């Protein structure tokens, strides 16, 4: 069935990396097409944090809720946004944070599901790709100034199902500099 659970062995290295093919998954793998919204929200919330009023992220861009970039992240974008009314003393309601997150997730899920390799990934791999698109947008199609893909090697690794090499690539210092 489409939601059949499968147990499989795991290696310590693949568990740490987070992008795993179904045969190396540390827990049962859901064969369903989608990653559960609550699960991915919890994962992204753990990575992003949640602040119910505007704050500057690690890149100095205005953000609100669970990693929602306000416009282009500039002071002008915040000043022209509906989020400027929120503060530590007047935080955004939880329901609005959740609604904003779901809107962002829908956009980023569409990007992730557009990658040819996505459907063949384990649930853990799909969560990793959703997390990456949430943080970096359409990261696989980003290009350098000379027109070459930033993630050229990663594109090939993911297309070929070489999950461990893709995880190594993502963890490399060269790759991290592009986030």
Separation of alpha carbons 89 and 146, rounded Å: 47
Q: What is the pTM of this model?
A: 0.73
pLDDT value of residue 33: 53
Q: Please give the distance of CA 75 from its chain centroid, rounded to a whole number.
A: 25
**Residue 134 burial by CB count (10 A; 0-12/13-18/19+): exposed, middle or buried?**
buried
- Give the 3-state secondary structure of residue 53: strand
- Parallel/antiparallel/unpaired status of strands 29-30 and 62-65: unpaired
Helix 123-136 vs helix 94-113: angle between axes, to the nearest 10 degrees? 110
Residues 16-20, mean pLDDT to the nearest whole number:
42
Q: Could you report the per-residue pLDDT of 41-65, keeping only the tens digit for each?
A: 999 999 889 999 999 998 899 999 9
- How does pLDDT run across 76-119, given as a tens digit for each residue? 999 999 999 999 999 999 999 999 999 999 999 999 999 988 98
């Amino acid at each position: 069935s489409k939601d059949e659970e499968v147990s499989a062995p795991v290696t310590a290295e693949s568990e740490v990396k987070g992008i795993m093919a179904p045969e190396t998954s540390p827990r049962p793998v859901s064969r369903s097409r989608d990653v559960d919204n609550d699960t991915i929200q919890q994962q992204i919330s753990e990575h992003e944090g949640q602040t119910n009023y505007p704050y500057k992220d690690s890149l100095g861009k205005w953000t609100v809720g669970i990693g929602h970039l306000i416009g282009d992240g500039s002071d002008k974008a915040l000043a022209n946004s509906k989020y400027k009314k929120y503060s530590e003393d007047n935080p955004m309601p939880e329901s609005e944070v959740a609604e904003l997150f779901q809107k962002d997730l829908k956009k980023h899920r569409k990007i992730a599901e557009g990658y040819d390799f996505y459907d063949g990934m384990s649930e853990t791999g799909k969560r990793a790709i959703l997390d990456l698109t949430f943080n970096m947008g359409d990261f696989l199609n980003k290009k350098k100034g000379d027109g070459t893909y930033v993630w050229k090697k990663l594109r090939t690794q993911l297309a070929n199902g070489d999950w461990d090499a893709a995880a190594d690539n993502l963890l490399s210092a060269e790759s991290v500099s592009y986030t």
